[in-house]
Structure 1
Amino acid sequence: MQPQGPELEIVHLLRAVTVELGLHSGRFAQRNGMHPTDVRALIALMDASRADEEMTAGRLGAALGLNSAGTTALVDRLERAGHVRRVRGGTDRRRVVIEVDEKAVELGWSFFGPLIGSAVELLRGYDERERAAIRGFLQGVRTAAAEGE
């Protein structure tokens, strides 16, 4: 039986937001001569950097659902475009990790910055308890989506 009730309106709204964000990301990719997977890769790399985690090509490929050949092609493409660089790992110099170049971060901020700023401003309208509820809901949906793999 399909769920019903006022909660479903929020689920449909989340779906609509997801579609709009995907379209927004697609416009960024198109304007910058990138494939949508390139954008997803840059996001994964920036998320890893924010978490102070090193991202190897293997880990990046797993995060994106790519095989080894596809991951190599992706990293090569991003490196040729000047968006990423391969460097030695900080904790294990034998490992090669992928880092986002600052120019790619600046390019992303120039496009996504206004949207991020709007979202932050909206969140400032909620108190900490409400933000905790929003955070919990989004984390729960993310976990549920990841478990569906």
Structure 2
Amino acid sequence: MNDQSPEMKLVHVLRAVTVEFDLLGAEFAARHGLHPTDVRALIHLLDAARDNVPATPGWLGRQMHLNSAGTTALVDRLERLELVQRTKDTVDRRRVLLEVEEKATELGWSFFGPVLADVVAVAESFDTDERETVRSFLTAVLQSSRQARSS
């Protein structure tokens, strides 16, 4: 592959964005006394809430590739920090659901809000077709990454 091809230049920019977001996540974690795993867990839980997916400890453990003991320690830590709460499922009272506390959302917005606002402003400057092209590209990259990780 030609390292200077237009396609590889996209790959290099995508890699740089990924590294920057990873560094931002690490800085956020450090400022708030969290482990990067805690931040990843919160992201999974926020995504689940947005997608109306019931987030149980077992579900979170699968997303995080943690065993039961590791998941329990993670949830205990997030609960102690008042970032997550365990609640009984109203449909199946035997099942415990995990919900992100408002405190976690506020911390996230206070730190990531300016970056997200900049990203949204850039996206708003694109027309509908351009946004769809970017979404399609990023979705394909995400699927490829997930497939590579699960192999």
State the TM-score, normalizing by the size of structure 2.
0.95
Runs of 4+ in 1 over 4 A off after TM superposition: none
Q: Give the length in aligned residue pairs.
A: 148
Distance 1:90 1:39 in 2: 27
Q: Indicate whether 1:28 and 2:28 are aligned.
A: yes
Instruction: Flag structure 1 segments of 5+ consecutive residues without an equivalent.
Output: none
Deviation of residue 20 (structure 1)? 0.3
Distance 2:135 2:23 in 1: 23
Distance 2:146 2:92 in 1: 29
> Partner of 2:146 in structure 1?
146
**Letter of the 1:41 counterpart:** A
Distance 1:126 1:65 in 2: 37
Distance 2:93 2:68 in 1: 21
**Letter of the 2:137 counterpart:** F
Distance 1:142 1:83 in 2: 27
**Letter of the 1:74 counterpart:** L
Aligned residues with identical type, % of pairs: 52
Q: Indicate whether 1:91 and 2:91 are aligned.
A: yes
**Letter of the 1:116 counterpart:** L
Instruction: Flag structure 2 segments of 5+ consecutive residues without an equivalent.
Output: none
Distance 2:8 2:90 in 1: 46
**Letter of the 1:8 counterpart:** M
> Partner of 1:60 in structure 2?
60
Let me know the Cα RMSD of the aligned residues. 1.0
